[in-house]
Chain A
Amino acid sequence: MAISKDEVRKVARLARLGLTEDELESMAGHMESILEFVAKLSEADTEGVEPTAHVLDLTAELRPDEPHLDGNATEIMKSAPDAGFGFFKVPKVIGGEEI
């Protein structure tokens, strides 16, 4: 199980972590040893086994459609690293939204 520096670079980009070349190198080493360690899982016989996403046999409870505001919008905005005109300010956004 070898993981290339390029692959690590791609993952860092996906995760939006600005790693230096040195950090990419050491990260590659770390990821490689972890991946070797978890490769152990392929020994387990999982034929026909259902994956566990939730440990509880719960189903989703639903919330009644009753609107309610905590009234802490101003308090929330106070935490913004940069704000103005009642908006959160960010470096110029280019491109479109995706939902």
Chain B
Amino acid sequence: MTDMEKITAKYDVVIGLEVHIQLKTKAKMFSPAPYKFGAEPNTLIDPIVMGLPGVLPKINEEAVNFAIKLALALGSEIHEVSRFARKHYFYPDLPKGYQITQYEYPYCEGGAIPVEYEDGSVSMVPLVRIHMEEDTGKSMHMEEGVNFSLVDYNRAGAPLLEIVSQPAIHSPQEAVAYLKSLRQVVRHLGICDANMEEGSLRCDANISLKPVGSEILGIRTEIKNLNSFKAVEQALTYEIHRHYDVLEAGDSIVQATMLWDPAAGRTRVMRTKEEAEDYRYFPEPDLPPLVIEPERIERIRRTIPELPHEAKARLIKEYGITRYDAEILVSDALVPFFEEVAGRLDPAPAKKAANWIITEVLRELKNENGSAEDPPVSAEDLALLIDLVEEGKLTGINAKKVFDELAKGSTGAEKTAERLGVLGTVAMADDELEAMCRNIVQESPAQVAKWKKGNHKVMGYFVGQVMRQTKGKAQAQKITALFQRILDE
């Protein structure tokens, strides 16, 4: 295989992505029937979903709201009047023989996806448009030799947004970064689970090669059904090489729609341009124009959280936390909680709040399958807890015990600490504490010997002894320093 550098020295890779995201509404796009991934086949169907003779579509309001949300977040221009159209083709999982979609008059155009890279840099990939449409059912293809397929219409009619990028992506890795950023945005907005395995985020890609610096785009192929990030990267890489080989051989690319065969690790022609379907779009007569009033847009604008990359940059700057911490807070939707805790802290610094949330709160959420909107401990209690430690009124270890109690349902950080008898640091005078430490050193010759040999792990043992004798009230930092001094004498 030719390596990619050799290819890109000669050709510009031009990739455009069409991404379908399934919206997390309760009902379907044009019918009240619900959709859930993994339900028993053909149980989430009604006459409308099935396109039974006589039924009519009606637009789901929440799907429109979600669509507006995404358009606002990505800076797309929302059209006050948009229309639905019918796109015709015959396929068993398409109940009506047409899909209701938007064609000439999508609800929005333009905008861009902020694509984040591992090094934290961000580039904007411009969009052509986003439009609303309905999903199809699903055909199960049986193994070789079976002459039928099975169709499940549960998914039919689920609301989709199709997000069409400009051909402004230049490598398979960039394509994956684009998808990951888009996934983060739609999850962050709460409009889509964006789970490629479950099909709530699906990707088609078109790709072409042109001589470096040329203004004219090459002939493109479109790859359908890329069901994982890996598939996206592998299929695009495969197609780039295939295009390269064809072009280098002096042949021209045949414009075609391809399917990615992950088992064989190659693309296959699904149909060529000559065989292309004629979709016979025309305005959907059953749906009058959709009017999105400015009031609705303003109402939704107020509910939009900042975008992930913006949130991260702000957290780092405003609170002095690390990029790593910011990343976790943003991707786990813990920014509002973090800001609330950090805002209440005095005297502890904000980065202490980040530590606590990323370790304790997140662990609790994961164990209990909880949601970030309903944290295990109130922001007020957590902030108080962190401050008590900062002020030396509570040791770190005891603070964790208090946290666990709070997570189990008790209220009031201070009250709980008091009830557990851990409030207040060691009452002993410093010399009393030092005497206790010297005593422990004297009674532990084996551990002292290890220390002298350079095994500094035994410090944990010495500190632990003090903690046991003081019921954890001593400050670990302070006794560590004490032991260090005594042992090094």
Contacts and interface: CB of A to CB of B under 8 A. Distances in A.
Interface in B105-123: none
Contacts of B64: 62
A97 B139 contact: yes
Interface in B75-92: 83, 89-92
B246 interface: no
Contacts of B83: 53
Given A66-B26, A77-B42, A89 B32 contact: no
Contacts of A82: 148
A73 B47 contact: no
A89 B140 CA distance: 10
Contact of B270 (A58, A61, A63, A95): A95
B285 A86 contact: no
Contact of B32 (A63, A73, A76, A77): A63
A85 B150 contact: yes
Q: What is the interface of chain B mostly: helix, strand, loop, or mixed?
A: loop
A93 interface: yes
A87 B40 CA distance: 10
Contacts of B283: 53
Contacts of B140: 87
A49 interface: no
B449 interface: no
A43 interface: no
Contacts of B152: 86-88
A91 B149 contact: yes
Nearest to A94: B141
Given A53-B285, A66-B27, A67-B26, A89 B61 contact: no
A70 B46 contact: yes
A96 B59 contact: no
B150 A73 contact: no
A48 interface: no
Contacts of A39: none
Interface residues of A, number: 39
Contacts of B50: 76
Contact of A72 (B46, B259, B290): B46
Contact of B34 (A69, A89, A94, A97): A69
Contact of A65 (B26, B278, B290): B26
Contacts of B32: 63, 66-69
B17 interface: no
Given A65-B25, A88-B153, A89-B148, A97 B259 contact: no
Contacts of A50: none
Q: What is the interface of chain A mostly: helix, strand, loop, or mixed?
A: loop
A63 B141 contact: no
Interface string B179-215: 0000000000000000000000000000000000000
B225 interface: yes
Point out which of A69, A70, A89, A91 has the most chain B C-beta atoms below 10 A from its C-beta.
A69
A81 interface: no
A92 interface: yes
A81 B162 CA distance: 33
Contacts of B41: 85-87
Contacts of A96: 224-225, 259, 270
B20 A99 contact: yes
Interface string B284-301: 010111110000000000
Given A59-B288, A68-B27, A72-B47, A88 B42 contact: yes
B239 interface: no
Contacts of A67: 26-27, 32-34
Given A70-B46, A92-B142, A98 B91 contact: yes
A99 B60 contact: no
Contacts of B93: 97
B259 A65 contact: no
A95 B149 CA distance: 12
A87 B45 CA distance: 12
Point out which of B136, B148, B225 has the most chain A C-beta atoms below 10 A from its C-beta.
B148
Closest 5 CB pairs of A and B: A65-B62, A87-B150, A62-B61, A67-B34, A68-B32
Interface of B: 20, 25-27, 32-34, 40-47, 50, 52, 58-64, 83, 89-93, 99, 133, 135-136, 138-142, 146-153, 160, 162, 224-225, 259, 270-271, 277-278, 280, 283, 285, 287-291
30 contacts: A14-B278, A54-B285, A54-B289, A58-B288, A59-B288, A59-B290, A60-B290, A62-B61, A63-B27, A65-B27, A65-B61, A66-B32, A69-B32, A70-B47, A73-B43, A76-B52, A88-B150, A88-B151, A88-B152, A91-B148, A91-B149, A92-B142, A92-B148, A93-B91, A95-B271, A97-B93, A98-B224, A99-B20, A99-B99, A99-B133
